[in-house]
Every structure is written in C-alpha cells, then in structure tokens.
Structure 1
Amino acid sequence: MRWSLLGPVQATAGGRVLAIDRPQQRAVLALLLLNADRLVPAGQLVAALWADEPPTSARNQVQVCVSRIRSALRDAGAGDLLVTQGGGYRLTVRGTELDLTEFTAAVERARVEEAAGRPAEAARLLRAGLALWRGPALAGAAGAFVDAAATDLDEQRLLACERLAAVELGLGRFAAIARTLRPLVTEHPLREPLVAGYLLALAGCGQRAAALRLYVETRRRLVDELGVEPGPELSGAHLRVLRGQWPDGTPPPEPPPPGPASPEPPPELPPARPAPPEPPPAGPTPTQLPGQPAWFTGRAAALRQLDALLPADTADAGRDGGAGRAVVISAIAGTAGVGKTTLAVHWAHRVAHLFPDGQLYVNLRGFDLDGRAVPPGEALRGFLEALHVPPQRVPTDLPGQAALFRTLLADRRVLVLLDNARDDGQVRPLLPGSPGSLVVVTSRNRLTGLVVSDGAHPVALDLLPPAEARELLGRRLGRARADREPAARDEIVRRCAGLPLALAIVAARAVGQ
C-alpha cells in the first residue's frame, strides 16, 4: 500500500489508485491518515468535517464514507487495515507507506546529518523528502478541517525548503537553490527566510544588483502592507551582500559563467509606499492567565520536564531560556479530562515572574463540539489588542497579523499559553519568532509537526497514578472525610480510572450532599 497526503489524497495498491475519489471520502481518509494507527472517534470525524454545523445525517454520512473506503481497500486485498472499534475507526499504516511519514523522517534525518557535520547528505535527504510533494497538500478533499490541516502541511514544506536553502548555500550550490526558491518567493513574497535565501543565492550567482533590488522591493512591501521593517534574517542577508561577504567573512566564490543553468531574474514585486510604522502606545502589561487551579495535585515528573526548559540562572531568562521554544502538553491517548490545562496553568503561574513583559492566553477550542475552533487570525487579533495595537494598525490578512505579532515580541519576554489546540496549523501562526518568549500548547493530539519542524518539546500526560488520585480526592473532599471511608475512597479512584476531571466531578457532587 501507498498512502498520499502531500498532493491529492489517495491510496495506491500495486501501482493502482483505489477508487476513493469523492471529496468527502478523501477528507475522511485524510483524517484517518493524519491519525494513523490511532482510534478516531466518530464524533471527532463529524466535528472535523462540519465544525459546528453538522447535518442531522452527519454520522450516517461518515459511516458511508468509511464503508466506501473499506470496500476499496477490500478490493485491493487490504480490507483488514481499516477497522471499526469502540465507536470509532482505526487505519493501520505500515512503516513509511504514508508519504507524510517518509517526508518528516527525511527532514529529521537531515537535521541529524547537518548537526553531525555532513551537509551534503543533509541536502540530499531534504531534496528527497521535498520530491515526495505532488502539489498542494490534501488536494481533492473537502471538509471543515482541510484548509487548516493543508496549511500546516504546506508550512512544513516551506520550512524544509528554507532549511535546504541554508544547507546548500553553505555548500556553494547557488544556481540550484536559486531555481528552487524562485517560484516560492513569487508565491510567498513576504516570507522573509525564503527571500533571504533567494537573495543570497542570486548574489552567489553573481547577480548582486538583482539581489539588492529584490531586498529594496521586499522592504517596501513589508513596510507598506505590514507596517514592519525586515527582520534580522533578511536584514543580515542584505548586509552580507552589501559587504560582499559569506558566512565566514570571506568573499563569496566566483560566480559561474552565464549559461542555461543561471537562475532567472528575481520576481517582480508590486511597488509599495515606504511608511515606517509607529510603535503601539504603551499600556498595562497583559496578564491573561486563568486563575491558579485550587486543587492541583501531583504531576511531579511533568513539572520537572517543564522546569528543565528554563535557564538555570533566572537572570538569563529570555536570552537562553525558552529562546523561541514551544512546549506541547498532550494526552498519551488523546484522553479528554486528563488535566492538560490544569497542569499548564499551574506551571505558568509558577514561572510567570520570569516573563515580565506579560502572559497571553487563548482557549482555541479545538475540540469543542458545541462551539467552533478559534481561527488563528481571531486569536492573533486578541493578542495584538492585548499588546495595545490600535485596531486600524492590525493587518487584515493572517500573514500580516502573524508578522506584526512576531515583531512586537522580538525584544520581549512573554509567556504564551495556547489551550485546547486542534492541530499544528492552528498553532503555528501564533508562535513568536525570536528568543525571549515561551509558548505552552495543550492539545488532545500530539502535534508532531510542531515537534519535528519547530523544535517543540513534547510532554505526554497520562492518567493519575492511584496515590495521586487518592491525594486529589482527599483534598477535594477533605482529608478527614476521605480517610474515614478508605474503601469507598479507593472504589471511587478505581472507577474514575485516574482521570482528574472525573474525580473532580464526583468530589463536587459528594461535597454537595
């Protein structure tokens, strides 16, 4: 079997594309593949396909889609790969049969090779991974989740291209990386790492004037459309071209003679008016964290993992501690009510003093079946308002909002708590791009894209062990009452299976009796 998400969603057996061709069927297959080897509840499929407006026939439509997919697999002799289990569905994917798995593995191996001082092998792996893409991710699928999931996957591709540019520039492969980056810069003219890589590639090919012209046009557009100056990466690349220096301070190698291998001229960018932005007015430091959980208990191992992300010397916080880092607190089995938010809020209050420029919080409602997931743009507008940006200065598009947010946090130490995230695409625009700030994300999903592509640190949260469950119940009920009836207390702990939310509900009812 061969499963594909990096382009049209499809399944192939023995070189034959299976008959899974309706947009809704492809969306169901895509969601099962994104959660490969994990149980996906039917309710999660309904929410993913229709968000907060499912039709009355939603579950029946899901069942029909699953039946069609299973029938196509059965015709290929692989019907046992998709099973119904406990009110949900599980799709088994072996090894690297999924192109996304193969891509992320190639990117990770490239990172290891680069760290080991083997850039040529890192470049080969990155190009092999990027060759797996056959077009826009999740093409042909239709569902409420598709746009955000596709944006997340396409972001992983762009990050891999940026990494490839950095590696191949170091190897002096200027013409090759210029050809790779040119269409991407045309498509994403305000994505500064791509422009910086292309600018250096042009200079390495001897097109210094074209590189400088590209910088001028990009800067004008950034100022006009986003109200920001170029960031350090693009500005640094510009300075290197001006000085005629390569990373080690030496002049770049002699450019190749003109010929068919030379890159095409840089893309034309629309003119823009230079208008340096005014800084937002000063105001109170944002302190948006929810209240400190009153009954927090246990979680010593998870707290140690989180504490390890902070600098040993608090005077260095923001310089080395959390330098652009993100933490993903997820449930081991996607379990709701395991205490992800409680842990995150408790720890955030413990370390809030290390982030004197404020704390930002948003509930992204990624799994709220009675509401809707909060779009990244809505979350960003809330953050920008908390940072005292006047409404008329907030860009109308998501890339502009994200760029302004990163600019405002560039020299600040801010703790950002993103609660109940649905997927990587919902989170990535909310990540600061510079040292000093720390992002804590809670989700039922593992968000492996953030771990692989953004260096996020995973903290998997399991059910409470019996001793901690008894402690939590004792604190909620009163220790004396709990100790008077140890058998009843232990029976409650057993029936609640170590789930903090269930223990809290039972304790609240008991206190009210």
Structure 2
Amino acid sequence: MNPPPEFRLLGPPEVRRGTALVDVGHARQLSVLAALLVDVNQVVSVEKVLSRVWGEAPPRQAKAALYSYVSRLRSALDGVPIVRRSGGYVLEADPATIDLHRFRSLVAAGQPGDAMALVRGEPFEGLHGPWFSGLRETLAGEITAAELDHIDSRLAAGEHRSLVAELTTRTTERPLDERLAGQLMRALIGADQRSDALTCYSQLRHRLADELGLDPGPALRDLHASLAQRPQWSPRRLPARPAGFTGMEVQLAALDLDGPIVTITGPAGTGKTWLALHWAHEHAAGYPDGQLFVDLNGSDPADVVRAFITALGTGPDGIPPEPHAQTALYRTLLADRRMLIVLDNAADTAQVVPLLPGTPRCRVVVTSRERLPGLVTAHGARPVVL
C-alpha cells in the first residue's frame, strides 16, 4: 500500500510520496492543486478556483481547462479524493499532510521552532497571479511572527550569545521593528554587553523619532529602564530568618559548595525551608542585586514569573502577554545581576524550570519533598537530601 502523499507549499510547491517526488504536472495544474489545498476538506467553488488560478477575468477556455486539470490531478494523486460537490471541488486529505496547515497548527500550539523547520523558501514559489501574491504576503507575516516567537523561546533557554550576530543582522534589515530591537537588547544583556544594548536602544529611539515621529513603546522603555536604573531594583524578598535554628552543619557545608542550583529534598517536617532560609540569610550579602523568594505550593509558574518581573522593577505595561516572552524578559532582567532565588516547596521539576535564570551568576535554592531528578540531570543541580 502506498504511503499517503505529503503536500509542500512553504517553498516551491511539490508533492512527495515517501522519498519519491510525484509528478503533478505543469505550473497551472499545480496552481489548481494549491488552490484546493489551502482550503483542504472545504468546498472551493469553481468560480473561486478560476479566479485564484487565472485571475479576476479568466479566459473563456479556463473552465474546460480546469476540468481537465482536476482529472489529471486525480490520476496523479492516486487515492487522494478530489470530489465535485455543491458547485465546486473538495480535496479530502489529512491537514497534517499539508505543510501550510501543519505550520499554523504548530504555531497555535506554541511550537514556533518546529513550525519554522517546515519553511523551505518563499511560499508558493513559481505560482503567479494576484491571489498567490496576496497569500505570500500574508504568510510572510505569519512566518516572521513565528521566527520572533522562536527567538523568544531561544532567549528563554539562555541562548543569548549565539543569537547576538543573527539578531544584529535582522535589525539591520528591519531597523524600525521594536520587537526585534528588544530581542537584540535582551541577547546583548545576556551576553554581558550592556553598553551595546543601551546603544541599540538609543539608535532605535532616534530612528523612530526621525522617520516616524514616535517614541519607543512601553516594553522597550521598561527594558531600557532596567538597564539604566538597575540599582533602584534590588528586591529583598526573603522571609524572616528562622529563630533558634541549630545543627545541620553538614547540610550547610554542602550548600556552601559552588554551583548555580541546589535542591534540598526530604519528607515533610525535616526542616527543608528552615535550612534554606537560614543559609540564605547568612549569605544574602554575597548577592548584592537582591533576593527573591516564593512558596510554590500550588502555584502556576507563569504567575510567579510575572510576580518576579514586577519585583525586578518592570511596570505592568512592560510585561509582554505571551508566557514564553515573560520568561525571556525575566531571564533578561537577571542576566547581569547576582541574585539569590529561593523556590520553596516545589512539586516537580516542571514547576521550577521556568523560574531558572539563564545565568550562573545567580544562585537558586529549591526545596521539595520530591528528589527532582530532572533538575539534577538536565540542569546540573546539586542535591542535598534530608
């Protein structure tokens, strides 16, 4: 049995069955196929197909040519139905076999990196006419948005240094794009190039004023303020030092060892929180940019990220709406700081990972009743077991 064909539209249009390229005819016949694939499993009227393929004033022979092309496509696709129905045609196929629909599904699912991997070039390359030109323009905007979402994800993962050159090139191509400029600033901050980030902001501000008569938006202004006025935002969020704390010398000595992340785990009532807070107060002076604390019991990490961003000095207008962008901003704000972050009562690794800074200059102490092996294996945390 032949495998189902895969339809590729995000580049030169082609159909593949396994590794074999399927011959679906000349460009006009391929245009008919593309016009149906865009609205897969929906009726596309004959008039709509004609206008998509031949333009608003198709020649008289276009309708007869369309019937011939559809007949040939049915033979070439061998098992993929193109059904005549209600004055039009329906191409029946799994949308997951069409890269355009898979791209949009992945973007909607928050997987922009996987979506971008489907893009092979200019969508519908080689197909001409006003409808295809308009569709290419629409998709160019969707692809650009997915690229920027993917960059936010990479920044959230700490890939600041590897992104600087790429983002510098992109901002040269689109010098008035504020979101792109903000991403470059965050990459520069994470790469310990604060002065370059300030220069980037200044250049954008002058360009916006000179060419558009505008000021940067609130997100960029807050990011700039976090650079220019960082000493004003040094939160001290530790709860009170535990009274009467004694013992645990071995565990305290283990906490003194180097490493950006340490986990304190053990059953309820073994003193995990007291140990973490006692050590944190003893070492707070070593983290001059501040200390953050949260009891994670039942908390959504996205809510904690927003609370931490606020504690670090960002106003509500400067917090982006997307959770991955909030995580990226949180890590950017921590990029050149030396801070202590205590995450108490974590349920599992997944609750902790969004709250990890992207820099080893910060120290994270996590307490949990669980062993959190994912933090140890994937993030190099040192375990202290009670």
Question: Is contact 1:103–1:129 with CA below 8 Å preserved after alignment?
Answer: yes
Paired with 1:213 and 1:106, the residues of 2 have a C-alpha distance of: 35
The 3 A distance-change label for structure 1 pair 235 and 94 is same
The 3 A distance-change label for structure 1 pair 184 and 26 is farther
Superposed CA offset, 1:88-115 (max 9, x none): 11112225111122222222332xxxxx
Superposed CA offset, 1:98-140 (max 9, x none): 1122222222332xxxxxxxxxxxxxx3322211111122222
Paired with 1:96 and 1:248, the residues of 2 have a C-alpha distance of: 49
Pick aligned residue for 2:59 from 52, 55, 62: 55
Question: Is contact 1:4–1:10 with CA below 8 Å preserved after alignment?
Answer: yes
Which residue does 1:9 correspond to in 2?
A: 13
Which residue does 2:114 correspond to in 1?
A: 128
Which residue does 1:156 correspond to in 2?
A: 142
Match for 2:175: what amino acid?
P
Paired with 1:182 and 1:25, the residues of 2 have a C-alpha distance of: 42
Paired with 1:87 and 1:207, the residues of 2 have a C-alpha distance of: 62
Which residue does 1:101 correspond to in 2?
A: 101
Paired with 2:17 and 2:136, the residues of 1 have a C-alpha distance of: 24
Paired with 2:63 and 2:100, the residues of 1 have a C-alpha distance of: 28
Pairwise CA RMSD of aligned residues?
3.1
Paired with 1:135 and 1:5, the residues of 2 have a C-alpha distance of: 9
Q: TM-score, normalised by structure 1?
A: 0.41
The 3 A distance-change label for structure 1 pair 95 and 146 is closer
Deviation at 1:158, TM superposition (A): 1.8
Which residue does 1:225 correspond to in 2?
A: 211
Which residue does 2:352 correspond to in 1?
A: none
SS for the counterpart of 2:126 is: coil
Which residue does 2:28 correspond to in 1?
A: 24
Question: Is contact 2:107–2:115 with CA below 8 Å preserved after alignment?
Answer: yes
Paired with 2:38 and 2:234, the residues of 1 have a C-alpha distance of: 42
Matches within 5 A, 1:361-376: none
Deviation at 1:212, TM superposition (A): 2.8
Which residue does 2:126 correspond to in 1?
A: 140
Question: Is contact 1:174–1:204 with CA below 8 Å preserved after alignment?
Answer: yes
Paired with 2:234 and 2:20, the residues of 1 have a C-alpha distance of: 51
Which residue does 1:194 correspond to in 2?
A: 180
Unaligned runs of at least 5 residues, structure 2: 237-315, 322-386
The 3 A distance-change label for structure 1 pair 200 and 93 is same
Paired with 2:147 and 2:21, the residues of 1 have a C-alpha distance of: 29
Matches within 5 A, 1:167-206: 167-178=153-164, 181-206=167-192
The 3 A distance-change label for structure 1 pair 155 and 21 is farther
Superposed CA offset, 1:428-484 (max 9, x none): xxxxxxxxxxxxxxxxxxxxxxxxxxxxxxxxxxxxxxxxxxxxxxxxxxxxxxxxx
Question: Is contact 1:25–1:141 with CA below 8 Å preserved after alignment?
Answer: no
Match for 1:35: what amino acid?
D
Give yes or no for the alignment of 1:69 onto 2:73: yes
Deviation at 1:180, TM superposition (A): 5.2
Match for 2:6: what amino acid?
R
Pick aligned residue for 2:42 from 24, 33, 38: 38
SS for the counterpart of 1:54 is: coil
Matches within 5 A, 1:63-462: 63-73=67-77, 77-78=78-79, 80-94=80-94, 96-110=96-110, 125-178=111-164, 181-243=167-229
Question: Is contact 2:35–2:53 with CA below 8 Å preserved after alignment?
Answer: no
- Structure showing greater radius of gyration is 2
The 3 A distance-change label for structure 1 pair 2 and 160 is same
Could you tell me the percent identity over the aligned residues? 30
SS for the counterpart of 1:89 is: strand
Deviation at 1:28, TM superposition (A): 2.3
Match for 1:167: what amino acid?
S
The 3 A distance-change label for structure 1 pair 207 and 15 is same
Deviation at 1:82, TM superposition (A): 2.1
SS for the counterpart of 2:7 is: strand
Deviation at 1:42, TM superposition (A): 0.8
Q: TM-score, normalised by structure 2?
A: 0.53
Deviation at 1:71, TM superposition (A): 3.5
Paired with 1:177 and 1:65, the residues of 2 have a C-alpha distance of: 47
SS for the counterpart of 1:96 is: helix
The 3 A distance-change label for structure 1 pair 21 and 105 is same
